[in-house]
Amino acid sequence: MQRLSNPEIILALDVDTLEEAKHFVDLLYPKIKLFKIGSQLFTACGPEVVKMVGDKGGKVFLDLKFHDIPNTVYYSIGTGSTICIAPHQVNIGREIKDDIVFPVFMMTVHIKGGRAMLDAAAKGAAEKAKELGIEKPFIVGVTRLTSEKDNVDTLKEVLQAAQLAKDSGLDGVVCSALEAEEVRKVYGEHFIIVTPGIRPDKAVTDDQKRTATVKEAVKAGSNFLVIGRPILKAPDPLLQTEELLGDLYGAGN
């Protein structure tokens, strides 16, 4: 759980091509070290884009929201864990496997898949990590999308989903900052909270309904803040990143 000491920004690489993704990784790494690869980019590029991020030195949040029969999710989680690269400079005299890098540090499953599927996801991650001799990637459950409108039952539904995630052996959940404070209060400091819908100015929300600023999300207890369009569409993505990091850590980033 070493990544839980301080909140971190994850850049959502919601673009169409490997070239676009590489442009943003080259531009923003190492100011940003964590990158989300979702269905849009993974469908276009597959594991190659994961390897590109890993080759640069970054880590990947593979956000494919697995939701299928337990057996399929078990093996999908295992496959995601095995995506790897071999660094260009391999030390002579060491076995190749000792130099392999596994970029995926976190993956998503959808809570609506149910207990058996969530159990299979947790088991798949643990068993594949043991087989490979690597640190287990975090598995987090998607509760409700931040594009969905808030209603009187939202918090209750998210807390129920978080309980199911915890009971199934998942590491945490994906939820908006509006629910994060209560999730943190109920499930403790070691339960991972990933928060999308982060906006530098809440007036600019695009299709997101339940948004928050960096400071609001951190105050609510989020560990990972997922930011895409505010950086990708900015006139100066590097400057926007520095401003967001300033909000996160203070000046000087």
User: Is residue 65 annotated as part of the catalytic site, yes or no?
Assistant: yes
Q: Quickly name the fold that domain 2-248 has.
A: TIM Barrel (3.20.20)
Which of 36, 65, 128, 166 is an active site residue?
65
Q: What is the pLDDT of residues 65-94, one digit of tens each?
A: 999 999 999 999 999 999 999 765 444 444
- Over 90: is that where the pLDDT of 107 sits? yes
- Over 60: is that where the pLDDT of 23 sits? yes
CA distance 88 to 118: 37
Q: What is the pLDDT of residues 163-191, one digit of tens each?
A: 999 999 999 999 999 999 999 999 999 99
